[in-house]
Amino acid sequence: MRLNAFIARAGVASRRKADDLIKAGRVTVNGEPGQLNTFVGVDDDVRFDGKPLAKQRVAYVLLNKPAGVVTTARDPQGRLTVVDVVSHPARVVPVGRLDADTTGALLLTNDGDLAHRLAHPRYEVDKVYEVECWKQPTDDDLARLRAGVELDDGPARAAEARRVSGARIELVLHEGRNRQVRRMVEAVGHRVKRLHRSRYGPLTLEGLEPGAWRELEASEVERLRSTARPVPGPRNQR
């Protein structure tokens, strides 16, 4: 694996921050300064500031994120983070983000390759949201969400948009831009009262209370990998 991924897997820093450590000359591989394009094998001796690094085991965690918790590893304002809630022995980080007030399914892992595929829209991984609006959206509003709306950072569309009951709707997205669901709903003339992500790919929150988390079973990890494989044909040419 690439050196920055190894450093992240060892729990030292994120891959982006690992690049800075490598460029600063603080990481060596077999006694030589590491480079950004260095690949690490199972028998290589990797050291940070002279101390040997051991790769952590890969971990996959599903959290039912409660309201008021920020989706980040560290918060400069001192707010409670999802990493504080999970408190896993491995250095797991969230895949994508949920707003502080948004609740529901959040995956945390140190498997950077899988995290990238799950978050990238080209793999069309379903993120299912239950949205309660302050007033009832019309059928035309739902059709506009399916057709696509223009946001300040580009067009966005729901893969699916359906009414649950009254002012409650369900949206399926393949992206995860900042406050995307709220902004899409606002683009069709509504405001979000409550937002909950009920499913992430094949993962649901069945049996998981708000604030609780669990490690994924091997079969669930394999289903995630299968879900995040490239979609064949023209659907993937976007």
Active site amino acids: 99
Identify the H or E element spanning 209: none
SS3 of 222, please? Answer: helix
Tokens 């995630």, located at residue = 224
Tokens for 155, please give them. Answer: 């067009």
Spatial separation of the C-alpha atoms in residues 126 and 174, rounded to whole Å: 5
What is the residue-wise DSSP string for 70-111?
A: BSSS--TT---BHHHHH--SS--EESS---TT-EEEEEEES-
Tokens for 78, please give them. Answer: 């001192």
